[in-house]
Amino acid sequence: MSGWQKTFSVALLIAAVSACSTHVSVRDPHIPDPLITAMPLSVGVRYPQSFDHFVHEEQVIGKEKWQIDLGASNKILFNKLFNAMFTDVTLVAESEDATTLGLDALIEPSIDAFEFSVPEQSQTDSFAVWIRYRIKIFDRNGTQIANWPINAYGKSQTSTFGGDEALRRAAVLAMRDAAALIIMQMDKSTGISKLINNDNAMPTTAEPAVQQTAVEEQGDDAR
Amino acid sequence: MMLDKPAISYSYLLLRGSFLALISLSLGACVTASIEKERAGVTGLEEGEGVVIMAKSYHLGNETENDFINCVGAAIGRGRGGLRVVPNQEFVDALFPWFEPRTAPADTKGLPDLMMRPGVAQMIKEKGVRYVIWLDGTTDRVAGGGSMSCAAGPGGGGCFGFAWWTNDAKYEASIWDLAGLEDAGTVTADYTGTSFVPAIIVPIPLLARTQSKACKGLADQLKLFIIDEPKPI
């Protein structure tokens, strides 16, 4: 086989493979500034390496292959969130000993699972995305005080957005859902406000929800 | 000597097609409509006040189409008595995270607590939103039948057959008054339309625009509900 024939064959193979796979990319989830008051707490945040470049690949049985590239959007999400929730936020490197930094708490977010469904699977015209995050919180001595799983969900219709765009939007909605849940429930679920150094200070955000929301009314099954 | 004649002549096909089309037209691609209103409080808009159209949470299984929400928003904002409509995404982003599908209040009982959250009442005032209109419902195909086949060859192509289907557009709009922190009422719209496609060579679609008629009907009634109707004494 001559050189150009080999090149042509490889190009044909790549074209055939790429024709059966879809790539969706989320560079920035564009999370709005949360309308909350920051908690007077000095926290450190340590991100896992996967937050720098998270890619999920999945072959839908009998259908095409999907690749969802979230890039560093998880980091962007949590940076925005924690900077709004706490008065003082410090990024802590993986190799750094957080107990020497004089922080009230160290937060370690991570992704446990990423799942999605396409319209062919759900028999609807919607893409859905589920992201299970996990937040571990350590006190100033390095003792773990919370290990909190967060189930976030987003759904987007293909009739409004094209297939790729609908999946991208469903992923962004799942991230917004996670942000909303963290703001509403973090203190209730982890007790992070008890780590405030000043005994007289009162937590002013991430407090238990005071209004009954649509989802709470239906129970957590709605997740 | 006998000349070969086609089994079915074109003029015969055209005649038959026209006949079927006429029957279809007489049947019409008609839409039947039913709209009900239930008023719970006095409504009205002051200078600079407007509305925002929201979909009920998909966490609760709501499947209201984004296209329908956009359509109602656009229809409420134009024409006689058009209201000021604040774009849905702009409102949700400005009040993040309090109107996300997970966190939005389930009913008006949650409004006083929501308004007490830092910055919420001020942001709603800044956006000039007086009413939140929550939409719930979908357009579904409830019946259908017939068959149609199409073929193409060197001499041309065509379709033969007859197909029909019925769509049902059922929507409910709940109106919340953010000034009084109360339920202002509900408008429900139920539109049913049957579409026909007879085909003799050329398919003739007679489509019932059920969803768009429901959008316009609901939007007109919402405008009346909010500003045009006389206030109860």
List C-alpha distances in Å: B232 to A124, A136, B44, B183. Answer: 44, 57, 12, 16
Dump pLDDT digits (tens) for A32-60: 999 999 999 999 999 999 898 899 988 87
pLDDT for A208: 44
CB contact under 8 A, A160 and B57: no
pLDDT for A201: 43
> Is A133:A109 a contact under the CB 8 Å cutoff?
yes
> Is A76:A28 a contact under the CB 8 Å cutoff?
yes
Tokens of A26: 């989320």
pLDDT for B63: 80
Q: Decide if pLDDT at B58 tops 50.
A: yes
Mean pLDDT of chain B: 87
**Which domains occur in chain B, in start order?**
37-138+169-191+210-227 (3.40.50)
Q: Which fold has domain A23-219?
A: Double Stranded RNA Binding Domain (3.30.160)
CB contact under 8 A, A32 and B104: no
pLDDT for A219: 47
Identity of the residue in A36, A211, A214 whose CB atom sits nearest the CB atom of B57: A214
Give how far A3 is from chain B: nearest CA, Å. Answer: 41
| Cα–Cα distance measured from residue B15 to residue B18, given in angstroms and rounded to the nearest whole number | 5
Identity of the residue in A32, A215, A222 whose CB atom sits nearest the CB atom of B93: A32
Q: Which of A169, A215, A216 would you mutate first to test chain B, the one with the most B CBs within 10 A?
A: A215
Give the closest residue to A55 by CA, choosing from A34, A27, A32, A36. Answer: A27
Residues of chain A with pLDDT under 70: 1-20, 62, 159-162, 198-223
Query: With a threshold of 0.90, does the pTM exceed it?
Result: no
| Cα–Cα distance measured from residue B219 to residue B223, given in angstroms and rounded to the nearest whole number | 6
pLDDT for A8: 58
Q: Does B123 lie at the interface with A, CB-CB under 8 angstroms? A: yes
Confidence check on the interface: ipTM exceeds 0.90, yes or no: no
| Cα–Cα distance measured from residue B131 to residue A3, given in angstroms and rounded to the nearest whole number | 69
Query: What is the rounded average pLDDT of the residues B103-122?
Result: 93
Give how far A211 is from chain B: nearest CA, Å. Answer: 5
Dump pLDDT digits (tens) for B8-38: 566 666 666 566 555 555 555 788 999 999 9
Query: What is the rounded average pLDDT of the residues B55-78?
Result: 88
Dump pLDDT digits (tens) for A177-194: 999 999 999 999 999 999
Q: Decide if pLDDT at B47 tops 70.
A: yes
Q: Does B89 lie at the interface with A, CB-CB under 8 angstroms? A: no
CB contact under 8 A, B102 and A35: no
Domain segments of chain A as ranges: 23-219
Which residues in chain B have Cβ-Cβ distances shorter than 8 Å to A157? 65-66
> Is B226:B40 a contact under the CB 8 Å cutoff?
no
